[in-house]
Amino acid sequence: MVNLINAATAFIFLGIGAYWLRLGLRTTTQKLFLLSALALMAHGIGGTLYHLFPDSLFFWRLDIIPLSISLLSLIIELALAWKSPSYAHKEKSDLLRFGLPAFGLAIFFRAGTHWIWHLLCAYSLFLLFRYVNATQLKRNESF
């Protein structure tokens, strides 16, 4: 039963990735942002399958590798957004006030109540995507 709940909450990452990929295809030309959204979708699929079939090394890799790619590209985008002029004040504030504490809290739910880890990390990632996307939109409007 626990693995089914973990699988269901891992599937949320697919939805977040799909949302930002769809929005990003309409609003941005930033390839790293689109790569991150696509990799997050793959992580959602891999994580769901891994929680359904936890003995599969292939599904574990399909869970971990896309997440690493997504996070690495988002970190690069975040660094670029952070050093840019102060765009997207609300999104930055939300990321700092809600996203970072949610991620910090998620660390305590890594094992045992893993589904809570999924929900808090998904929320944090959504806010991170929102901030990076908003800074890209603001930068494009200023040129």
Q: Which distant-in-sequence residues (6+ apart) come within 8 Å of 136 by Cβ?
A: 27, 28, 30, 33, 81
d(CA 48, CA 54): 10
**What pTM does this model have?**
0.84
pLDDT band at 143 (very low <50, low <70, confident <90, very high): very low
d(CA 32, CA 38) in angstroms, rounded, equals 10
The pLDDT of 82-87, averaged and rounded, is: 66
Backbone dihedral angles phi then psi of residue 24, each to the nearest 5 degrees: -65, -35
The mean of the pLDDT values for the chain is 85
Q: Choose from 26-30, 78-82, 116-120 the range with maximum mean pLDDT.
A: 116-120
pLDDT in tens, 14-41: 999 999 999 988 877 778 889 999 999 9
Going by the DSSP 8-state scheme, the letter that residue 11 receives in this structure is T
Cβ burial 104-136 (10 Å sphere, 16+ → b, else e):
eebeebeeeebbbbbbbbbbbbbbbbbbbbbbb
